[in-house]
Structure 1
Amino acid sequence: MPSFNDRTIKKVIPLSLLVFFIILVNFIIIYRYTEPYEEPELATPPADEEPEIPPYNAPQYGLEFVRPKERKFVSPVLEKYIKSLELKMKDKDLYILLQNCLPNTLDTTVEWFNEDKSDPRTFLITGDIPAMWIRDSANQIAPYLRFINEDEKLRDLVFGVIQVQASYLHYDPYANAFMRPWYAPKKEGRKASNTDNVIPAYNPEFVWESKYELDSIGHFLQLTNDYIDTTGDIERVVTSEDWLRAIPRIFTVLEDQMQSTWPAPKFSLKASTKKINDPEPVSLARGYRFRRYTDRPTETLGEYGLGGITKKCGLIRSAFRPSDDATTFPYLIPSNAQLSVQLIKLSKHIQVFLESKNETRSEFNMQQDIHFSSKELGETIRKAIYEHAVVKHAVFGEVFAFEVDCFGSQLLMDDANTPSLLSLPVLGFLEKNDTIYRNTRDMILSEWNPWYFKGKFAKGIGGPHTGQDMVWPMSLLMQIQTSTNESEVRQLVDVLKRMAKKTGNLMCESFDVNKPTVFTRSWFSWANGLAGTTILQIIQDYPHLA
């Protein structure tokens, strides 16, 4: 038998170790893939703990609490809600801004409230202008809808706004802003100018300004629908005497403003009713014209007060924009979109009301007419928007035009005031992720929009009303509400806080993108209410940012 020498042993041992290692590896592999695999247990947090949110340290600029001590109207429910957020909100600047802005309408602009539950009436001024705009007042009161089922007096206050708006629109459905109601206790104040040459002629004791803006009607219907959606009380609205008197005159205006400019439309007017001691409503028989002696073209209408020329196509004209500036092409698409949504909503509400009554008696003939007219008109407008206002842009693809005339002319831009193209999802016309909307949003938030401004301090949308380099906080707030990008929201919140620090710890009308200490209207209630609702949306959608 041969013997192993030292050299042989040195060769065999490493070989043996290699073989052993290969066998061991194979054994581990076989065991791993033949044994059943069990998912490792994960530690589950206690049920009362929320998932950990990445920390966000919001910059602080030292905003100050500026709510007045003397307040026009106080809602205990609203006050309790604001107080409940004090310990929850980490961004103290944002909390102070919420306290200053959300209750601003109640604090400062409720000039008269008739508390009679059977017939509540509310007169709201816009802020620094002692008149009630239909559009502004609807937006001013809207933030409180979420609280009205817990506060009966606040609910009457909101319904009182609808009642006053209805009485105004019955008197003059073309007018946009009104004086203290004729049925309210008299109070000395500024008087409206009567230098405008307007058809239909109005009494300046009742009307502050008669710029026909389609969104005035849209906002009246929107507040109507939102009140019904919140309270479920359809009957209170659709059987209101003032509301029922206003609607037929509103539809007369809509029918008139749907026609081609040439030839002048022929009218078949229903008789208008009025209460005892109410002023005689203005005549709608001659349509609408507006002329003002001014050095600003946006403050008057061409062609002897007719404005832009249009062809009938299913859309409805608006002589002026929500900014109170004259339209270039009168079919203003955002206002048509708003009206379409609200007419269809209204038809559904009235259908529910009629079904609940299970009646077709003559006493509900008016509601039946409104139901059918609203549905048909709302659908007609929506169809016409997609037929005439979708434009192929060389850079952004299909986008919505801001204004058209249905002769083929289209205006591509957006304005800060709502309804705007930016606000289309908030209006309920489409979803945020709609392709045409996303294209449109990209376009209007770029230098392709002639009223989009960039500066050292901020960037955003303004408009002809305040001019070059003046961005409106309302457009930045609407940008937040329509955003799907957290980084965009963070940046915008930061701009708004820094701006508020420069302009009085509230929202202003507009500010200079390079020098925010240059701004317009420090007391502008609509913008403050929009800021309040936007902050509440941030709390809901991005709680770690608040």
Structure 2
Amino acid sequence: MFLHLLVAAALVCTAQGQSRRPPPANRTFVSKYIDGMINNLTTQMREKDPVLADMFGNCLPNTLDTTVLFHGMDHEGLPDTFIITGDIHAMWLRDSTNQVLPYIRFVDRDPALDLMLQGLLRRQTKSVLIDSFANAFNFDGSKPSPWASDIRHPNMTNAVYEGKYELDSLAAFLKLSRSYWHHSKNATVFDESWQRAVTKVISTIQAMQAGMDQYTANPPYKFQRDTYAPTDTLSQGIGPPGASCGLSRSPFRPSDDATLLPFLVPANAMAAVELRQVELMCHEVGCKGTLAHSLGALAEELSRAVQLHATSAHGFAYEVDCHGNSVYMDDANIPSLLSLPYLGFVDRKDPRYLITRQRVLSSKNPYFFRGASGEGIGGPHVGYGYIWPMSIAMRALTSTEESEVEWCLELLKTTTNSTRFMHESFWKDDPARFTRPWFAWANSLFGELILMVAERYPHLIFKATVFS
């Protein structure tokens, strides 16, 4: 409510500051409502913190400004949208969902935004139906993927950019679906094609629950790449062994790195949440047959398996094999252990989560780095010593302490190397050493953080509380 009041409080104005946005004519998509909201918020923020205001003004619209490669109508006359990650001209299911999440709450206030989001949901639906094991897709099949030489089962078509199976990709499709429904109540996109895609999500997750004997006898998925990086391929095309226990395999993490053990706990937790949410949604949009029941049953199975096989006195494990082995670490990419409350799997005050949080934000996590520039979680994707701003934003989003949120905002503010954008990562001792200057997912997450702070802790970013 606070944000809507603030938007209504003033006419759209041009905020004075270091805007790094492209000129309106060069933006890939324009939402007048979002632009108005950004201008009004940054005007208020600038009175207290001009740098933070500039960062919000640059980051939140970055996906709209620069990554909506196509929005229009497909050959059937239905909305179609293709969103790239930023510097990689392909669409990841996970990234594209997370890139637009901060905008979905405003869908009922901007018809153009609504159509664009409908198009993305329809595009994701088509993508899942094309290949439910792929993590990223090309705009069309006119050119082969740069990874066309990968050896994969099932075979990839030119529609696929990369064929790594990541459980959270399917969960991201479900999250986009239920988030759009929650804010729009528009059931037209949840048609027969969408229901077939959801059915395929269920069958894919179930196929990846098999024990090792069944899995190796008739593997639903295999992947090998000729590479120097062990995180980019799977042993024997299958990956590490795991016992049947109700969890579902994710050969790759949301970082696109191979897992050490087959069952990625945060991805299973996210899938459980989203399956349950879409089950509830199905009762409202009129899903056919037993689809709603199947969603609920699988959600319950995954959730129970996480509780039984991935929790201990140390909190939640990052990966398990259901033979009794666990990996205790965390990676900055979402879903992560740090993000479990954000995902909706546990409460922020859950004792098991608090134990987990304490561990992953310490030297007990091999990918937690601390240096002259600050501290945060990284991961093997970029390597030792590189902190991902995404993890700092998630630390704030899941915190119960106002002082920690304030500290995270300050750390994010001082590690952009004056670009006033989020980067993929920065070196722990020097933010001038950073990777991926154009990484839209991280920019959207920062924008989402500021929207959260405006609701919960407005005094941290505004000089005076509006409408106090």
Same fold (TM over 0.5): yes
The SS at the match of 1:85 is helix
Q: Deviations over 1:29-53 (max 9, x none)?
A: xxxxxxxxxxxxxxxxxxxxxxxxx
Q: Which residue is 1:429 aligned to?
A: 345
Deviations 1:364-409 (A, max 9, x none): 6xx232101000000111111110001223xxxxx00000010100
- Following TM superposition, the consecutive aligned residue runs of length 4 or more in structure 1 with deviations greater than 6 angstroms are none
The answer to whether structure 1 residue 158 and structure 2 residue 117 are counterparts is yes
| Alpha-carbon distance change, 181 to 164 in structure 1, aligned in 2, over 3 angstroms | farther
Q: Does the Cα contact within 8 Å between 1:462 and 1:471 map onto a contact in 2?
A: yes
3-state DSSP class of the match of 1:290?
strand
- Counterpart in the other structure of 2:360: 444
Contact 1:503–1:519 (Cα < 8 Å) also in 2: no
From 196, 199, 207, give the equivalent of 2:150: 196
**Residue in structure 2 matched with residue 401 of structure 1 by the alignment:** 317
* Per-residue deviation, residues 302-339 of structure 1 (Å, max 9, x unmatched): 1x110011111111100000000000111101000101
In the TM superposition, what are the counterparts of 1:100-179 in structure 2 within 5 Å? 100-115=58-73, 119-179=78-138
Report the counterpart of residue 227 of structure 2 in structure 1: 294
1:503 and 1:202 map into 2 onto residues whose CA distance is: 41
Q: Could you tell me how far apart the structure 2 residues matched to 1:503 and 1:297 are?
A: 35
**2:189 matched residue in structure 1:** 237
Secondary structure (helix, strand or coil) at the match of 2:290 reads helix
Query: What amino acid does structure 2 have at the position aligned with 1:149?
Result: D
Residue 99 (structure 1) aligns with:
57
Deviation at 1:115, TM superposition (A): 4.3
Residue 262 of structure 1: CA displacement? 1.2
Alpha-carbon separation, structure 1, partners of 2:82 and 2:385: 34
Structure of higher CA gyration radius? 1
**Contact preservation (8 Å) 1:130, 1:190:** no
- Does residue 389 of structure 1 match 2:340? no
Which of 425, 436, 445 is the matching residue for 1:510? 425
Q: Answer with 425-434 or 110-119: which moved more.
A: 110-119
Amino acid at match of 2:90: A
User: Which position in structure 2 is the counterpart of 1:334?
Assistant: 266
Within a 5 Å distance, the mapping from 1:16-415 to structure 2 comes to: 64-69=18-23, 70-89=26-45, 90-115=48-73, 119-182=78-141, 191-203=145-157, 205-233=158-186, 235-239=187-191, 241-264=192-215, 286-302=219-235, 304-354=236-286, 367-393=288-314, 399-415=315-331
What is the Cα deviation at residue 251 of structure 1? 2.1
Q: Hey, what's the Cα distance between the residues in 2 that align with 1:330 and 1:81?
A: 43
SS of the residue corresponding to residue 121 of structure 1 reads strand
Matched, 1:532 2:465: no
Q: Does the CA-based 8 Å contact 2:79-2:116 persist in structure 1? A: yes
> What one-letter code is carried by the residue in structure 1 that aligns with 2:442?
A
The share of aligned pairs that are identical, in percent, is 41
Q: Work out whether residues 215 and 339 of structure 1, in 8 Å CA contact, stay in contact via their aligned partners in 2.
A: yes
Gaps of 5+ in 1: 1-61, 267-284, 355-363, 394-398
Change (3 A) 1:264 1:87: closer
Cα distance between partner residues in 2 of 1:330 and 1:194: 25
Output the CA distance in 2 between the equivalents of 1:63 and 1:487. Answer: 27
Answer yes or no: is the 8 Å Cα contact 2:19–2:58 preserved in 1.
yes
CA distance in 2: counterparts of 1:165 and 1:216, whole angstroms: 10
Amino acid at match of 1:434: D
C-alpha deviation, 1:118, in angstroms = 5.7
Task: Tell me the distance in 2 between the aligned counterparts of 1:124 and 1:87.
Answer: 29
Q: What is the CA distance between 1:65 and its match in structure 2?
A: 1.6
* 1:420-449 deviation per Cα after TM superposition (whole angstroms, max 9, x unaligned): 000011101111011100111001000000
What amino acid sits opposite 1:167 in the alignment? K
3-state SS of 2:243 partner: coil
Q: 1:530: how far off?
A: 0.4
Deviations 1:470-494 (A, max 9, x none): 0000000000101112222222111
Q: Given that residues 342 and 397 in structure 2 are in contact (C-alpha distance below 8 angstroms), is that contact kept between their aligned partners in structure 1?
A: yes
Q: Quote the offset at 1:294 in angstroms.
A: 1.3
User: Could you tell me which amino acid in structure 2 is paired with residue 489 of structure 1?
Assistant: V
Cα separation, 2, equivalents of 1:492 and 1:190: 42
1:295 and 1:353 mapped to 2: Cα distance? 48
Amino acid at match of 1:477: A
SS in 1 for 2:146: coil
Normalising by structure 1, we get a TM-score of 0.78
User: What letter corresponds to residue 520 of structure 1 in structure 2?
Assistant: T
Query: What is the deviation of 1:293?
Result: 1.3
Would you say the 8 A contact 1:503–1:522 is kept in 2? no
What is the aligned residue count?
441
CA distance, structure 1, for counterparts of residue 208 and residue 381 of structure 2: 24
**2:313 partner SS:** strand
8 Å CA contact 2:42–2:54 kept in 1: the answer is no
| Cα distance in 1 for residues equivalent to 2:44 and 2:166 | 41
Give the aligned residue type for 2:152. V
| Structure 2 residue aligned with 1:542 | 457
Q: Which segments of 5 or more consecutive residues in structure 2 lack a partner in the other structure?
A: 1-15, 462-468
Aligned residues of 2:135 and 2:165 also touching (Cα < 8 A): yes
> For residue 237 of structure 1, what is the amino acid of its counterpart?
V
| Contact 2:145-2:162 at 8 Å conserved across structures | no
User: Does the residue aligned with 1:211 lie in a helix, a strand or coil?
Assistant: coil
